[in-house]
Amino acid sequence: MRYFLEIAYDGTNYHGWQIQPNALTVQQVLNDCLSTVLRATIETVGSGRTDTGVHAEQQFVHLDVAGKLDKEEACYRFNRILPHDIAVKNIYEVAPDAHARFDAVARTYEYRISLINNPFLHAYSHFMSRRPNVELMNEAAATLLHFEDFTTFSKVKGETKHYRCQIFRADWQVQENILLFTIRANRFLRGMVRLVVGTLLDVGNGKLSVADFKATVQSQNRHLASAAAHAAGLFLTKVEYPANYFLL
């Protein structure tokens, strides 16, 4: 049977989501835990990758097991042996051909900037001592909804076959001493959100105009993007699937 796990993790101590040689990753730790509890070799497939140090408030993975799970008991047993920075939030039954990555219709990321030097937020936000121009950053962010090709914001060594994404939302909000960027799209390229944020911050800091930002996106030139924003401020917050996708 195929199941989806809804998980969350603090990415601080991991080299991203995806398994890779000689590095500690969330997927490897999760696979090892599931294999131990279920007494079988379990390989998960995630809804997407997160980079080193990036967090997830909601991530979905699918896995196949030989028999039917007692979902409540399995969730309890998984969480008993998982490290404190990875949690299984829920387990769902799905159709045998359901796919965590390919069936997702939208994903939402948030980037969090702390406008005060709070030591308790350093692992979960990027500190800026000077507040950028939020109005200009929102003006620039709004232009993203009118583009389809985001080659500019892709990693040079990416393995993707194309660079087209449909962005549904991109905006900044100020919540007390936190500056929050929210972006929702049907898909994202590797490293895309941090490159977008870094370039938008250059607009907010006066290094680029809104027109410059728009020209940067239009250029489809990776080398014109600004430096990527710090990983600690980035969270995968929501992954969406078609209506009635989960069976139970």
Indicate which residues carry an active-site annotation.
51
User: Residue 228 has which token pair?
Assistant: 């990527």
Strands (E), 28-186: 45-46, 55-64, 86-93, 106-114, 126-127, 167-175, 178-185
Where do the DSSP E strands lie in 176-248? 178-185, 234-240
- Listed residue (144, 232, 126, 233) closest to 189, CA to CA: 144
Distance CA(110)–CA(140), nearest Å, equals: 17
